[in-house]
Amino acid sequence: MRTRKAFIAVSMLITLSLLLGCAGAGGKEPIVVGSKIDTEGALLAQTILLLLDDAGIPVEDRSHFGPTDIVRKALLSGEIDLYPEYTGSGAYFFEGTDPGIWKDADAAYAEVARLDLETNNIVWLQPAPANNTWAIAVTSTLADAEGLETLDDLAAYLNAGGEFKIACSEEFVTSPPALPTFQDAYGFELTDDQLLVLAGGNTAQTEQAAAQGTDGVNAAMAYGTDGSLSALNLVVLTDPRGAQPVYEPAPIVRSEVFEAYPEMADILAPAFESMDLVTLQTLNAKIAFEGQDARDVALEYLTQQGFL
């Protein structure tokens, strides 16, 4: 008897806690803001959350939701309402687009905004003018020693037989817009022992590997706005030939939610416009390098710039 009563009580307690935990949304439907599992995504998500909240719109924080495809699926299925995405990703999401479009910032934005609205009812808002695209960064030691500034310099160095090993992810090696594009555009080819492929690798790990010289690595796959570059003494090689597609971050939102709150375009635009490459690098560095909370960094920036 005691056993049964206790069991019922306990399971009711559990069910209750489950319902409470999953509920989250109460009263008016808040806008659920998500992001990918990376520093910049968190920063931009917190920026969005703070701005919308300040304007009196109810929001829910689901940042660091998951990897790209999970977050995208979540948006399409309505699990989340808004997240920051990159214009260049349009090349993945939509087949049969002209590759040239993606190398031009404005054209890329226009194309992906059009396609997403038509196909998926997703609205793209004002992007930030920062190109967070694939890049190759080398240790400052190497850069100084060999005078490497651009990818042209790197090609020359490689073709002259220079010692080189880059830490990168699987995606970087195989995905056409990444390494293959670099190699085609600049005329070099990396051999297998010049690659250190990290499973599921992200730029934080590759940059750390290069900085520590793990396994003879002296270069890393990086993104344009990575915060740890200067802290780890890595130098990004510039892309004068414009080989890479442009990746500008912009908030993207489900059209039903946008129609409910059309004012969000104007609320978010000024802040995003202000975030150029250097700004994002600095802000990212505060999170990744100093370990500050993304929310605090966003709050400080927005307050300083007068957006809040």
Q: Using CB under 8 A as the criterion, what x/- string covers residues 44-73 for binding another protein?
A: -----------------xx-xxxx--xx-x
Taking the complex as a whole, the smallest distance from the CB of residue 78 to another protein amounts, in Å, to: 5
249-254 and 31-36 strand pairing: unpaired
> Is 201:168 a contact under the CB 8 Å cutoff?
yes
Q: Which is nearer to another protein, 14 or 270 (CB)?
A: 14
171 near another protein (CB under 8 A): no
Listed in sequence order, the residues at least 6 apart from 177 whose beta carbon sits closer than 8 Å to its beta carbon are 88, 91, 102, 134, 244, 245
10 near another protein (CB under 8 A): yes
Rounded to 10 degrees, the C-alpha dihedral 234/237/242/245 comes to -20
Site size for another protein, by CB under 8 A?
A: 51
**59-66 sheet: strands from edge to edge:** 59-66, 31-36, 82-86, 249-254, 122-124
Q: Which is nearer to another protein, 211 or 219 (CB)?
A: 211
Q: Which is nearer to another protein, 48 or 113 (CB)?
A: 48
Q: Which is nearer to another protein, 38 or 239 (CB)?
A: 38
Which stretch, 156-164, 251-259, 263-271, 291-299, contacts another protein (CB under 8 A)?
291-299
Round to whole Å and give the CA distance between 279 and 211: 23
29 near another protein (CB under 8 A): no
Instruction: Give the residue among 23, 24, 27, 33 at the shortest CA–CA distance from 59.
Output: 33
Round to whole Å and give the CA distance between 220 and 136: 6
> Is 228:204 a contact under the CB 8 Å cutoff?
yes
Q: Which is nearer to another protein, 15 or 141 (CB)?
A: 15
Listed in sequence order, the residues at least 6 apart from 214 whose beta carbon sits closer than 8 Å to its beta carbon are 167, 196
Identify the residue among 33, 179, 264, 288 touching another protein (CB under 8 A): 288
74 near another protein (CB under 8 A): yes
Round to whole Å and give the CA distance between 190 and 164: 9
Taking the complex as a whole, the smallest distance from the CB of residue 40 to another protein amounts, in Å, to: 11
Q: Using CB under 8 A as the criterion, what x/- string covers residues 223-262 for binding another protein?
A: -----x--xx------------------------------
Which residues, 181 to 210, sit near another protein by CB under 8 A?
Answer: 200, 202, 204-205, 207-208
Listed in sequence order, the residues at least 6 apart from 225 whose beta carbon sits closer than 8 Å to its beta carbon are 40, 130, 132, 277, 280, 281, 284
Taking the complex as a whole, the smallest distance from the CB of residue 96 to another protein amounts, in Å, to: 23
Q: Which is nearer to another protein, 42 or 57 (CB)?
A: 42
145 near another protein (CB under 8 A): no
Q: Which is nearer to another protein, 34 or 151 (CB)?
A: 34
3-state secondary structure labels for all residues of 206-270: HHHHHHHCHHHCCEEEEECCCCCCCCCCEEECECCCCCCCCCCEEEEEEHHHHHHCCCHHHHHHH
- Which spans of this chain sit near another protein (rule: CB under 8 A)? 2-4, 6-7, 10-11, 14-15, 17-22, 34, 37-39, 61-62, 64-67, 70-71, 73-74, 77-80, 200, 202, 204-205, 207-208, 211-212, 228, 231-232, 288-293, 296
